[in-house]
Structure 1
Amino acid sequence: MGVASFTHHHGPWTVADVLALPEDRSVRYELLGESLVMSPAPGLRHQRASYRLHVALDAAAQAAEAPVEVLEAVNVTLPSGLVVPDIVVADAGATAEDASASTPTRCGRSRSRPPSPGSTRRSP
């Protein structure tokens, strides 16, 4: 299948379709149901806050000797699609291997931000 493009896509979106899109650091692609959601990349203030939260969560996890890993902006596959939460606290066993491009849902809880006002939704 060559390089995927959202402009030439027909029918409902799948996780495989989203993962086949070319990487673009200016846009975050997520799949909600069968709709592709494109959001602008987070700004500096957002990134600073996310980084500080990551550092605090990681320090707390290490202090508690919790068997978790704190990750930033990784693909998380859910039954309803694919999201890219700002931060994921995952079971260390679930992330021991680099599972190609996404973290399985069994990794624990993730908090995804709602689509921003500037996001674009592409439906089937």
Structure 2
Amino acid sequence: MTSEQLFTHIVHRLNKYSDAVVLGYLLHDHGDERQVKSSAVKISLDALNGQISPKQVQRSLTDLADLGLIDVKPHPNYRTVITVNRDALVEFLNREPLSTMLPGLRATPFPFLDAINASPLAAFKGSDR
């Protein structure tokens, strides 16, 4: 499984983009192997480039903790210690299989994408991501 496929599975399982982005950041920062010391503001502004507000990050941390996917402990100096519960996350991802008809999981190409790839827009810097 690639990182893109993992993120797509997480988005579909959580049904909430902000929760998936925060969990994705924690996994990218090796939160399943060690403690991540950060804050909602730092995650929002530094790690996620302001795409998710600090309030949304805080809500996502609470949601993920309620699901048992992360452990969150307040720490002095406005930081929080966060650890991803790897076993719970693996179990969460291995629930009943996701439909292959969901966006991001469908293997069949579609004409719109073919048209975009054939157009001058395909040379656009962000189009290959």
Instruction: Specify if TM > 0.5.
Output: no
TM-score by length of 2: 0.26
Q: Higher strand fraction: Structure 1 or Structure 2?
A: 1
Larger Rg: 2
Q: Quick one: higher RCO (CA 8 Å, sep 6+), 1 or 2? A: 1
Q: Higher helix fraction: Structure 1 or Structure 2?
A: 2
TM-score by length of 1: 0.27
